Structure 1
Amino acid sequence: MALSRLERVQAWLFKALMGALLLLFGLFSSRNAALSGKTLPPVRNPLLLVSATQLAKKIRRKEVSSVEVVQAYIDRIQEVNPLLNAVIKDRFDASLQEAVLVDKLIEEETDGEEVLEDRLPLLGVPLSVKGSYALQGMPFTTGLISRQRVVATVDAPPVALLKRAGAIPLGVTNTSELCMWLESHNHLYGITKNPYDLERIPGGSSGGEGSILAGAGSVIGIGSDIGGSIRIPCFFNGIFGHKTTPGVVSTENQFPPTSGRQQEYLSSGPMCRYAEDLKPMLKIMAGPNIHMLSLNTEVDLKKLRFFTIPHDGGSAFTYPVTKELLEIQRKVVKRLEADLGVKVQEVHFPELRYSFQIWDAYMGLSDREGNPPKTFAELMGGPGRPVWPLWELLKRMVGKSAHTMAAIGKLGNIYYGSQKEKLQKEMEELLGTDGVFLYPSHPRVAPKHHHPLFRPFDFAYTGIINILGLPATQCPLGLGEEGLPLGVQVVAGKLQDHLTLEVALYLEKTFGGWRIPGAQ
């Protein structure tokens, strides 16, 4: 998508203004994020420390009622959400009523536990939903002030499938404005915090999901990912998340909708605290496309081929991976080799240093019929005229813009060429149907609020995986020097989602999985 010389000049002028103003903005806004010394209350109810799979089993066996479980999570949300600002709208009364019906159904069930498990595998289990998904009766705004009165009239397909499997939605969670930033902040619902350090970001755009899950206010959730929006929040919050192979889980009834060729890069997937919940959730969310995956195939980790890619090779757009993240990835390699008897080969792809340019270029491509994608300015201006970047920037500096600084900054991006096809071929040849590789999710642990404005392209570590169309599972690997979650993304070939999900189970067992915030 070529730009005229005038358009390029305008883009560079815009970026120059952004660069000059971001420092001033960051200095002022960082004062508002100061929450030094505050921590989350401890987890007191043991029901909050049980996986969704095990909760469903306990509910079916009448060891605990769905009402007890739902109430435990409502209590926890009410306890931690004033600190986290993760849940933007709850449906607690409705969820308790639904839990009563679940308990009545189980009491009257005569076909036995196995039949109930097959028909309703998540019966009575609480669920949180990212605010960009339609959940009937809930706000459907994606943090956009112009949509503040929009309420969903239907359920997005994966939400409907989870509800049909018996899950009970508790509410919807915060996102970045229009889901196009890695900090969950907007002028409609405010800013969401990281449960391990309230001065840190929870990531985006599924940051509300990541925050409430890690804070033990939810056990399973649903996110979407077009540039890392599942994996980055899961990394920053120390939980599990899976970016599915595109086209498996429906992405309908999300806002903003995809356009151009973006549908090829967007994935919906599960987010959760316990690795054993990933596969059951994906089986449900895939719906009629479940046949595309081999989720029932037994995986022998000793027979897989493992690779590790420590960094992107030195992109001009991303910062170097920190020493502690390089070291934790090396520890994973050593454990794989010691425990499984495999050889983990370190590989490098020169094209990865162009990850941001590749992502940026392909996100702007027209679809097969030649229809260009909707611009960010059009989406921000909807349902009216597109917004004008320079005007919004000037308005923001005097506090008159309805948009966040991050959203305004997205308006100035231009497109670059790519070496994607070469990288795609190399990756497919490397992975085949039995290969997986480890790759950093981000160059650093969760940064402080608004700091991503100064390092906006670090998401390229996840974004490139979207453009390649590969499945990836984000796995927590304990806590680092500052008490913040460490992690790695595990990537496999297209439709080989079952491989990365199996590796996630191994890494949870080996490195301990999710850690209770404040309890390290």
Structure 2
Amino acid sequence: MLLKQSAIALAADIKAKKISSRMVVEAHIAQIKCVNPRLNAVICHRFEQALREADAADNLIAKATNFNELPPLLGVPCTIKDTFEFEGMPQAVGMVSRKDVFGQSDAYAVNALRRAGAIPLGVTNTPELAMWYETYNRVYGRTKNAYDRTRITGGSSGGEGAIVGAGGSPFGLGSDVAGSIRMPAFFNGVFGHKASPLLINNEGHFPSAHGQTLNYLSAGPLCRRAEDLEPLVRILAGSQSYRLKSVAQVDISQLRVITVSPERGPKVSPDILNAQQQAVDALVAQGARHLTVDLPLLDDAFMIWSSLLADSSTPEHSFTAMLFGEYHIKHPVKALMQMAIQGKQSPHTLPLLMLTLLEQFPNLAVGQRKHYVKLGLQLKQQLNELLADDGVLIMPTFPKVAPRHGHPLLKPFDFVDCAIVNAMELPSTAVPMGLNASGIPTGIQVVSNQHNDHLSLACALSLEKAVGGWVPPWQQWLADLPMNLARQPKRKTKIMI
């Protein structure tokens, strides 16, 4: 089935002329048309252009004499997060003030995918300014989870997570500064990778990163099959791809699989603890060694992350500046009060107003910020020594499965298990671990040392084989069908004679 295959498998079949690019693109367009009215994941499409590009790909293959010279993703559809500039497509990033902003050229990562032959079908929704873990904004509205539309898709790559998880795209382009690839991948039951610092160029991304913040932000893929992760990261890395070691060289039996004492960090639900144990057991069954460690500094993970981020930012590149402008950098609290009074009439969402205010706290206590920056450097050293070149850390992506809409406002710091990985400048791969008893995706993240992306990617491949990976939501829809039909009220049928 075309909607279940990996991008690499689709590319191979297209080049072998077993299927055409047009067939693949049409199938995914049809799926988007089917699910998007209920999910609101794709906010602007380019279906006609995509079909023309598919025909061009098929013509190129028909004339080719050496298939090895063809682009690796030739004819394969994909989707692009709204934060990336994409020529002719909107780049609002959920901001009313940017609703008329359209790409004049392609961001580096978008260009890399298109040069590799990928065919973008459209762009996907994000939270306002891409700075929240529920995808909702005043421009395009709320994105919903294909497994349960009352639940969030995560953020900020929430549109990508939703449409990839729903089978509407083999893979998508996301970005991650505090879990923005890994949380949507987790909530929507697919794979995602946050790469090592500077492996993938962020040029053309908004919000942009500067200085040390460049080490925290990473573009990366979300995909339904683990075998796509390494080739997609290589394509996105471009001239830096030599830094990514081969996944094929990894021997799982030579790895140390590390877990952290459950007393550290946010309280984790049984679903996530079970997924974590299942992952450990699967890797140990292949010969890996397991050890549990205690990292007390993780108790301060949120303050470490926020302090390191604040320490790396300048006022002109702050969220406050991007949201309100130069004047409000000097008067952020006053500006926020004005916006709060406007309520629903405000062009901004409540989460972003809260985050903007939160951004000011480290600046009000420089001494405290320096304290947590120092702790962060200590934690980074501990993790580097712990992981070395043969260790992977299995940890929660989020404390529970996808929560209901609005829940993030009640638990605003639950993203910290992802955020601290960015602050430590480590690569991490989100790995789906099946569905819980309610049919909602569970999963974990696999963290490795800087420039050891190949270790976490290898674990993703191994865990997919052991556990099964992505479970399409329509399998759950079919499983629930008898129960849903039984709940329908019986109606009397009037027979017309």
Tell whether the structures are fold-level matches, with TM greater than 0.5.
yes
Q: 1:403 aligns with which of 321, 325, 348?
A: 348
Are the counterparts in 2 of residues 364 and 372 from structure 1 also a CA contact under 8 Å? no
One-letter amino acid of the counterpart of residue 353, structure 1: D
Q: Structure 1 residue 314: deviation in Å?
A: 4.4
Runs (4+) off by over 4 Å: 382-387
Within 5 Å, which residues of 2 pair with 1:220-259?
Answer: 220-259=171-210
Structure 2 unaligned spans of 5+: 363-368, 477-497
Q: CA deviation at 1:304?
A: 1.3
Deviations 1:138-183 (A, max 9, x none): 0011010001110001111111011001000000000010011000
Tell me if structure 2 keeps the 8 A contact 1:476–1:514.
Answer: yes
SS in 1 for 2:54: helix
Tell me which amino acid in the other structure corresponds to 2:275: I
State the shift of 1:310 in Å: 5.0
Indicate the larger mover: 371-380 or 431-440: 371-380
| C-alpha deviation, 1:334, in angstroms | 2.1
Q: Matched residue of 1:106: which SS?
A: helix
Is 1:476 matched with 2:421? no
Q: Is the 8 A contact 1:260 1:374 kept in 2?
A: no
Q: SS state of the match for residue 303, structure 2?
A: helix
Write out per-residue CA displacement over residues 266-301 of structure 1, whole angstroms, 9 at most, x where no aligned residue: 111111000000011111000011122213651111
Note if contact 2:178-2:418 (Cα within 8 Å) is conserved in structure 1.
yes
Q: Give yes or no for the alignment of 1:290 onto 2:244.
A: no
Q: Secondary structure at the match of 2:258?
A: strand
Structure 1 contact 187–403 (Cα < 8 Å) conserved = yes
Say whether residues 1:420 and 2:367 are aligned partners: no
Q: How many equivalent pairs are there?
A: 461
CA RMSD, Structure 1 to Structure 2 (Å): 1.5
> What is the match of residue 206 of structure 1?
157
Whichever residue aligns with residue 347 of structure 1, its letter is: V
Distance 1:310 1:195, change over 3 A: farther
CA distance, structure 1, for counterparts of residue 21 and residue 14 of structure 2: 6
Show the counterpart of 1:33. Answer: none
**Per-residue Cα deviation, 1:49-73 (whole angstroms, up to 9, x for no partner):** 1111110011001111101110111
Q: Distance in 2 between matches of 1:383 and 1:377?
A: 9
**SS of alignment partner, residue 446 of structure 2:** strand
Assess if the C-alpha contact under 8 Å between 2:434 and 2:441 holds in 1: yes
What is the aligned partner in structure 2 of residue 99 from structure 1? 54
Mapped contact 1:143–1:174 kept (Cα < 8 A): yes
Q: Which whole-Å CA distance do the structure 2 matches of 1:304 and 1:158 have between them?
A: 31
The aligned counterpart of 2:308 is 362
Per-residue CA shift, 1:186-211, capped at 9, x if unaligned?
Answer: 00000000000000000000000000
Give per-residue Cα distances to partners, 1:7-43, cap 9 Å, x unaligned: xxxxxxxxxxxxxxxxxxxxxxxxxxxxxxxxxxxxx
Q: Return 289-298 or 186-195, whichever deviates more.
A: 289-298
What CA distance in whole angstroms lies between the structure 1 residues aligned with 2:327 and 2:136?
23
Report the residue type matching 1:53 in the other structure.
I
- Partner residue of 1:380? 323
Segments of 5+ residues of structure 1 without an aligned counterpart are 1-45
TM-score by length of 2: 0.90
Does the CA contact (< 8 Å) of 2:283 and 2:462 recur in 1?
Answer: no
Q: What is the SS of the residue equivalent to 1:364?
A: helix
Give 1:335's match in structure 2, choosing from 282, 285, 295: 282
**What code does the residue aligned with 1:107 have?**
A
C-alpha contact (below 8 Å) 2:6/2:227 kept by paired residues:
yes
What is the one-letter code of the residue matched to 2:29? Answer: I
Alpha carbons 1:305, 1:436 under 8 Å: kept:
yes
Matched residue, 2:385:
429
Within the candidate set 133, 136, 145, 2:96 is matched to: 145
**Contact persistence 2:255–2:390 (CA under 8 A):** yes
* Counterpart check, 1:80 vs 2:42: no
CA distance in 2, matches of 1:153, 1:294: 34
8 Å CA contact 2:173, 2:219 repeated in 1: yes
Q: 2:403 is matched with which residue: 427, 447, 452?
A: 447
Deviation at 1:481, TM superposition (A): 2.4
Q: For the Cα contact (< 8 Å) 1:310–1:440, is it kept in 2?
A: no
How far apart are 1:516 and its partner, in Å?
1.2
**1:385 positional shift:** 5.7
Instruction: Give the 3-state SS of the residue equivalent to 2:357 in structure 1.
Output: coil
Task: Establish whether residue 48 from structure 1 lines up as the match of residue 22 from structure 2.
Answer: no
- Distance across 1 between alignment mates of 2:69 and 2:45: 31
| Residues 282 and 463 in structure 2, CA contact (< 8 A), matched pair in contact too | no
Query: How much does 1:331 deviate?
Result: 2.1
Distance in 1 separating the partners of 2:305 and 2:316? 14
- Quick check: 2:195–2:220 contact (8 Å CA) kept in 1? yes
Distance 1:448 1:135 in 2: 32
Q: Distance in 2 between matches of 1:393 and 1:74?
A: 40
Q: Which letter does structure 2 place at the counterpart of 1:327?
A: N
SS of structure 2 residue aligned to 1:340: coil
Q: Which has the higher helix share?
A: 2
**Cα displacement (A) at 1:114:** 2.6
Q: CA deviation at 1:82?
A: 0.1
Partners of 2:216 and 2:380 in 1: how far apart? 13
**Is 1:244–1:497's contact at 8 Å kept on the other side of the alignment?**
yes
Q: Give identity over the alignment, percent.
A: 43
CA displacement, residues 299-345 of structure 1 (integer Å, 9 cap, x when unaligned): 1111112111254x345xx4x101221122112222222x2133210
Structure 1 residues 447 and 310, CA gap change in structure 2 (3 angstroms) = farther
Partner secondary structure for residue 400 of structure 2? coil
Using structure 1 for the length normalisation, give the TM-score: 0.86
Paired position in structure 1 for 2:423: 467
8 Å CA contact 2:255–2:289 kept in 1: the answer is no
Q: 2:17 maps to which residue?
A: 62
The residue that corresponds to 1:351 in the other structure is 297
Letter in 2 for 1:477: M
After TM superposition, give the deviation of residue 260 of structure 1 in Å.
5.1
